[in-house]
Homo-oligomer: A and B are copies of this chain.
């Protein structure tokens, strides 16, 4: 069962930078100091996604990396999306601490 809108909003309050889009995606834009730092982040994101076996839709627009998550098979946002978004945020914070 996917989360209700209220449940999603409660989770997003504790998930820095993530927003609900069209009621069925959660989305965050991450901005980096260079194109290659963004690519290094995408490599981290890929490793996390493979571990979850759950893959975000990724766009790279120069120094901006955007991640979109949803659980297609559940028809909405589930705990997996929220947990994975938390790990992306942790990877981002870790990279930022190295800048």
A→B interface (CB under 8 Å): 35-36, 39, 42-43, 46, 49-50, 55, 57-62
Chain B residue numbers with a CB within 8 Å of A36 are: 46, 50
Known contacts A36-B46, A42-B39, A42-B42: does B60 contact A57 (CB below 8 Å)? yes
How many Å from the CB of A90 to the closest CB on chain B?
19
Q: Which residue of B lies closest to A58 (CB)?
A: B60
Copies in the complex: 2
The residue in A46, A57, A60 that gathers the most chain B C-beta atoms within 10 A of its C-beta is A60
Known contacts A57-B59, A59-B58, A61-B57: does B50 contact A46 (CB below 8 Å)? no
Alpha-carbon distance A62/B69, docked complex (angstroms): 12
Alpha-carbon distance A35/B36, docked complex (angstroms): 20
